[in-house]
Amino acid sequence: MRADSQPLGRNLEREVKLAVPSDFALPPLTDPGGDVFAAPEETFELEATYFDTADYRLSRAGASVRARDDGWTVKLPGSMDDDALVRPEHVIPGPVDGAAPPPDALDLVRGLTRGAAVEPVAVLRTLRHRVRLRSSDARQVGEVVDDRVEVSAPGSREITESFREIEVELPDAATATHRATVLSRLRGAGAGVADPTPKIVRALGPVATAPPDVVVPEVSGQPSIEVVIRRAVAASVHRLITHDPGVRLGDDSEAVHQARVATRRLRSDLRTFRTLVDEPWADSLRDELRWLGDVLGAVRDADVMLERLSSHIDGLEHVDQAAAERLLDDLREQRTRAVAQLLDALRSERYDTVLDHLVVAARRPRLLLRIDDNDDRDVLRGLVRGPWERLARTVRSLPEEPTDVALHEIRIKAKRARYAAEAVEPAIGKPARTFARALVALQDVLGDHQDAVVASEWLRRAAAVAPDGEQSFAAGLLAAKERAAIREGREAWRAVWDDVDRKRVRGWL
């Protein structure tokens, strides 16, 4: 979110939409023998203007930007929880009369629009009949709305479409019993099956029901090399775009982590498939992904260290905790600066261009024409064999007490072999999956070791420039914990390596 913006209202919308016939009558919703009681009903009118790109990138992805009298709302793509559609919802202050969406609204969907112009696409006028539902202890456990919707083009009162739907909104306080009770009464009165289609998609019609820009292809049977490559590329691009809004909010460390993983995995996959794809094309994408991964990495590295050191502070004596917290203020400031640089990157034309290229790559990776007659599975198996053999040679050449740098190199090579195995798993199946899981365990042990090494070095430098003895002492206490973690990693990693190096795990190669 922009530094000068107002706070966004965040909510996780959970609702079940039900199709109903035109003559549907809303039944009594109070359950005298249960725990659902209907509040007085109310009816009112709503008018909403929806915004999208010319090719409906938002609607096709399951997102929306909406202006109503009560402000702006951005709904991001969601997922299904049984028959409920669950979507992140952000309410954004700003004028709505004849205005374009505010910068914060456009920022949240920029990963989907990729900088394309956003304009009004439809006006929805809704006659809403609402019934609030409460439990016996006065908690709100739901809301049923009967919406009659009329659609018109922006600037016109001519009705182009109309429909009716029932929505059951389910707050966190609603239990499975509350949910089942309400849905049972509605279906008993003639409501149909759940239909998660958003209103704007129904309003726009078939053009908005086309697939989103990035679709991860389903695989079955023995997928071809082309399908395997398309799936690997599309999965990482989809991951990056999915977590883009969370990164922009500035306080979602998991979103930053997942976006960084997306860039790293895709760079690794392009490297794995380099003999099967156009090399200049792949190298160009890898270069741009390196740039993006670096700005994501600066935030992610600060998050990891803050999480590690904060957990250690809890174990210190009370007198040392305050000094340790002051010590971490520099790290928090470092993260703040890194977030600002990351947001500048995400709001740049360069990032929009990178996303455009990635979307095209997810749809149509540039594959080379194969002239060999080798079986696809044999070719894919060979793509994993290379990184595995490089990893194995490096491990077997290590001295009894390898350096921290050498162990970090092992971790990097283990990650490459793991990503390669996961990329071909749709075609290879269980052997690749088992192999990848073993490498994950090795990567985790060596990753914790490397994080401890980095934290220990940071604490050494922080102690040297600390403004007082209390902070220097606290740095020493924290460094002692990190040195212990380094020793634990050194003692544990070879046993985990032996599990990877078993013939039953790697024999498929």
- State yes or no: pLDDT of 270 exceeds 90: yes
Distance from C-alpha of 147 to C-alpha of 203, rounded to nearest angstrom: 13
What is the structure's pLDDT at 3? 39
The answer to whether residue 440 is domain-embedded is yes
What is the structure's pLDDT at 32? 75
CB 77 within 8 A of CB 62: yes
For the segment 373-382, the average pLDDT, to the nearest whole number, is 88
Tokens of 323: 């000094």
Could you tell me if 97 and 150 lie in one domain?
yes
Tokens of 75: 């709904």
pLDDT 10s digits, 133-160: 998 888 899 999 999 999 999 989 999 9
Paired sense of beta strands 119-134 and 84-92, if any: unpaired
Tokens of 284: 């160009």
For the segment 375-394, the average pLDDT, to the nearest whole number, is 94
CB 22 within 8 A of CB 165: no
Which CATH number does the domain housing residue 155 bear? 2.40.320.10
Could you tell me if 186 and 304 lie in one domain?
no
The answer to whether residue 4 is domain-embedded is no
Tokens of 372: 């060999």
Distance from C-alpha of 355 to C-alpha of 203, rounded to nearest angstrom: 28
What is the structure's pLDDT at 8? 57
Distance from C-alpha of 358 to C-alpha of 285, rounded to nearest angstrom: 8
Distances, alpha carbon 76 to alpha carbons 83, 186, 210, in Å = 18, 28, 17
Question: Which residue carries 């994950």 as its tokens?
Answer: 440
- State yes or no: pLDDT of 1 exceeds 50: no
Closest of 93, 65, 138, 63 to residue 1, by C-alpha: 93
The answer to whether residue 20 is domain-embedded is yes
Could you tell me if 41 and 174 lie in one domain?
yes
CB 72 within 8 A of CB 84: no
Please list, in sequence order, all residues whose beta carbon lies within 8 angstroms of the beta carbon of residue 353, skipping any fewer than 6 positions away.
none
Which CATH number does the domain housing residue 475 bear? 1.40.20.10
For the segment 280-295, the average pLDDT, to the nearest whole number, is 97
Could you tell me if 448 and 410 lie in one domain?
yes
Could you tell me if 99 and 224 lie in one domain?
no
**Domain range for residue 341?**
214-371
pLDDT band at residue 112, thresholds of 50, 70 and 90? Answer: very high
The alpha helices in 375-509, defined as continuous H runs, are: 376-396, 404-428, 430-465, 469-500, 503-506
pLDDT band at residue 251, thresholds of 50, 70 and 90? Answer: confident
The answer to whether residue 224 is domain-embedded is yes
CB 182 within 8 A of CB 150: no
Residue type, 191: A
Task: Single out the residue in 165, 191, 208 at which a domain terminates.
Answer: 208
- State yes or no: pLDDT of 301 exceeds 60: yes
Could you tell me if 173 and 257 lie in one domain?
no
For the segment 212-235, the average pLDDT, to the nearest whole number, is 93
CB 41 within 8 A of CB 129: yes
The answer to whether residue 354 is domain-embedded is yes
What is the structure's pLDDT at 168? 94
pLDDT 10s digits, 40-92: 899 999 999 999 999 999 999 999 999 998 889 999 999 988 888 999 999 99
Residue type, 158: E
Distance from C-alpha of 5 to C-alpha of 49, rounded to nearest angstrom: 22
CB 470 within 8 A of CB 321: no
Q: Phi-psi region for residue 320, left (φ > 0), alpha (ψ -120 to 50) or beta?
A: alpha
Percent of the chain whose pLDDT exceeds 90: 82
Residue type, 190: G
Could you tell me if 137 and 24 lie in one domain?
yes
Q: What is the mean pLDDT of the chain?
A: 93
Q: Phi-psi region for residue 82, left (φ > 0), alpha (ψ -120 to 50) or beta?
A: left
Q: At what angle do helices 404-428 and 376-396 cross, to 10 degrees?
A: 160
For the segment 473-477, the average pLDDT, to the nearest whole number, is 93
The answer to whether residue 1 is domain-embedded is no
Could you tell me if 191 and 273 lie in one domain?
no
- Determine what percent of the chain falls in helix, strand and coil, rounding each to the nearest 5: 55, 20, 25
Please list, in sequence order, all residues whose beta carbon lies within 8 angstroms of the beta carbon of residue 500, skipping any fewer than 6 positions away.
414, 435, 438, 439, 441, 442, 506
Could you tell me if 231 and 164 lie in one domain?
no
For the segment 362-385, the average pLDDT, to the nearest whole number, is 89
- Give the helix/strand (H/E) hosting 75: strand 71-75
CB 230 within 8 A of CB 366: no
Distance from C-alpha of 293 to C-alpha of 271, rounded to nearest angstrom: 15
CB 342 within 8 A of CB 371: no
Distances, alpha carbon 255 to alpha carbons 114, 243, 246, 422, in Å = 18, 5, 5, 21
The answer to whether residue 2 is domain-embedded is no
What is the structure's pLDDT at 108? 96
Number of H helices, E strands in the chain: 15, 10
Distance from C-alpha of 339 to C-alpha of 345, rounded to nearest angstrom: 10
Distance from C-alpha of 448 to C-alpha of 435, rounded to nearest angstrom: 20
The answer to whether residue 178 is domain-embedded is yes
Could you tell me if 222 and 188 lie in one domain?
no
Could you tell me if 281 and 202 lie in one domain?
no
Could you tell me if 150 and 244 lie in one domain?
no
What is the structure's pLDDT at 9? 66
pLDDT band at residue 35, thresholds of 50, 70 and 90? Answer: confident
Please list, in sequence order, all residues whose beta carbon lies within 8 angstroms of the beta carbon of residue 20, skipping any fewer than 6 positions away.
146, 164, 165, 166, 190, 191, 192
Distance from C-alpha of 12 to C-alpha of 27, rounded to nearest angstrom: 27
Task: Single out the residue in 148, 181, 208 at which a domain terminates.
Answer: 208
> In the chain, how many domains are there?
3
Q: At what angle do helices 279-313 and 253-272 cross, to 10 degrees?
A: 150
pLDDT 10s digits, 172-207: 888 888 999 999 999 999 999 999 999 999 999 999
Task: Single out the residue in 342, 371, 400 at which a domain terminates.
Answer: 371
- Output the pTM of the full model: 0.92
| 27 or 4: which leads in pLDDT | 27
